[in-house]
Chain A
């Protein structure tokens, strides 16, 4: 099993009346609540935590892209990846991911990721995502074109990384007479592409066909099981057995000396993440056209994304959104879920919500020193 340390870089300083006065932490939540002075300290603290994850032996460190929100203050993940590239030497740097359809010039993503790959000595993992529904409100970009833009931008980027330029690209949304990026990426044939997703059937099939590692985020264990089984089934249909290294699970992890202590310390921060950071009404999360009609009907049945804000900490634990406890308990729990899901990529969110630095570091150290060694052989 490989271990990845994921950071969202949340903005924890919400107003006291947030729960009643704000419909969401996204799109329309005023940036008057962002304080750049405190932001300066936070960015540097968060980068310290990512760098420390390498020192502790994590295989990779992860950043991602979200816009206009307090959940994660990283609209440009490639900038954070650049900062990390110069301060780390061994760990993979996973950008999970760049939101392709939001760009009118996705060639810029091909260029930036190639730069990062060269700069980091070939340590980049390139996540390709669509961005969540809210992002289409933020960019005033029709979600109905999101999927076709994603597929087209993806093709353009892969070709830009792998084909000798200059060549012409003629798509519906993107047209370039001269595709000829400098630099080219260092890894061959190109940086690994990962697909973090919410489980739409089209994306599962598409990723399985291309053997792209699929990362399932913020979902209950039964939902993840269903999606991973679909992925494996799709792989079989195209003629291969999907190895565990193509399946990733992302969850919140918190380790303390005892179970009781871990739960007490993790609870407010986990509830912040699901109840506040991810607070989004359906109109923000699933704008019309963002999903195909069959996927939308399926989402209405799964309801994970719409209801996790109401869950208690105990429910979040039981359903696998959070793993918290002593090193023994956490190792056992992950071992059991691993047996059920069969993933090879363990992506842990070890800082979440307003969790302070000292607490984050303590949990990271316990996880890296007492949990990871037990699970590595899996």
Chain B
């Protein structure tokens, strides 16, 4: 397989039939996507696949994965990924989570650090910081939401095509519905997570867009302080989604950290 190629497969695991993209060679890396972007082999994944075997599953309720009836809350996804990691079979994987996926990754690392080599949280959801008001994406018109999330207008178009096909529209609506199940209230966080982050016992890098207008840098610092030994990399010119706003810099920062010994 070419370094920039990937395969799509479907697996029955953890009580759901899910879509899994896989590409590259090297140590195993699991990437957990955000609210959008499921099932897309985006350039930053191809970049990571130059050094790693990248597994990019679509969460149950997202992309082409099915909507299981048991999906109600974030801990359902955490337990799903415990099964997923068992099924994958590697003793350890690097875990990289973006936004919603960062929230899942942090929860997962807090309960099973032993399955994780290194952890990267990218503009992760999951915590609330006193004094910071996170904008309500559910009530915003789409253009305002895009301005809140992306530093680069092209980033929005990469994962949310302006004229979606029927299948893309259906996936979009399903994903938004899944987000409403997982993150409406408490909004994009688990009040219990901050108390649990100290359980993360693996080298951790917190990567954050300098201009994240959804979760400002206070969130990055809160994660960094709560996770023992965590490092923080702030990427200039990036909003909430650095891997789309600045894919090369993002890949470099993540690859550099994961390759450390």
Residues of A that sit less than 8 Å from B by CB: 27-28, 136-137, 140-145, 281, 283-284, 287-289, 293, 296-297
Hey, which chain A residues are within 8 Å of B169, CB to CB?
297
A288 and B179 form a contact (CB under 8 A): yes
Instruction: Verify if B79 is at the interface (C-beta below 8 Å from A).
Output: no
4 new A-B contacts, CB < 8 A, other than A143-B180, A283-B138, are: A137-B139, A141-B184, A289-B177, A289-B178
Hey, which chain A residues are within 8 Å of B140, CB to CB?
283
A287 and B170 form a contact (CB under 8 A): no
Which residues 136-163 of B have a CB within 8 angstroms of A? 138-141
A143 to B139, CA, bound (A): 12
A189 to B33, CA, bound (A): 52
- The size bracket of the interface on B is 10 to 19
A287 and B180 form a contact (CB under 8 A): yes
Hey, which chain A residues are within 8 Å of B133, CB to CB?
none
5 A-B pairs with least C-beta separation: A288-B176, A142-B184, A289-B180, A289-B177, A144-B180
Hey, which chain B residues are within 8 Å of A293, CB to CB?
170, 173-174, 177
If over half of B's interface residues share one DSSP class (helix, strand or loop), that class is named, otherwise mixed; here it is: helix
A68 to B173, CA, bound (A): 27
B139 and A283 form a contact (CB under 8 A): yes
Given A140-B184, A145-B181, decide whether A289 and B141 contact each other with a Cβ distance below 8 A.
no
A287 and B138 form a contact (CB under 8 A): yes
A326 → B minimal CB distance (Å) = 43
Hey, which chain A residues are within 8 Å of B174, CB to CB?
293
A123 to B223, CA, bound (A): 59
Given A140-B185, A142-B181, A288-B179, decide whether A297 and B139 contact each other with a Cβ distance below 8 A.
no
A214 to B83, CA, bound (A): 45
Task: Output the nearest chain B residue to A140 by Cβ-Cβ distance.
Answer: B185
Q: Report which of B141, B180, B185, B187 forms a contact with A288, defined as CB distance below 8 A.
A: B180
B177 and A144 form a contact (CB under 8 A): yes
A141 to B174, CA, bound (A): 18
The digit string for B105-146, where 1 denotes a CB below 8 A from any CB of A, is: 000000000000000000000000000000000111100000
Hey, which chain A residues are within 8 Å of B177, CB to CB?
144, 288-289, 293
A145 to B180, CA, bound (A): 9
B18 → A minimal CB distance (Å) = 18
Task: Output the nearest chain A residue to B174 by Cβ-Cβ distance.
Answer: A293
A142 and B141 form a contact (CB under 8 A): no
Task: Output the nearest chain B residue to A281 by Cβ-Cβ distance.
Answer: B141
Q: List 25 A-B contacts (CB under 8 A).
A: A28-B139, A137-B139, A141-B185, A142-B184, A142-B185, A143-B180, A143-B184, A144-B177, A144-B178, A144-B184, A145-B181, A283-B139, A283-B140, A284-B139, A287-B139, A287-B180, A288-B176, A288-B177, A288-B180, A289-B177, A289-B180, A289-B181, A293-B170, A293-B174, A297-B173
A27 to B140, CA, bound (A): 13
Q: Report which of A27, A144, A145 forms a contact with B139, defined as CB distance below 8 A.
A: A27
Task: Output the nearest chain B residue to A287 by Cβ-Cβ distance.
Answer: B138
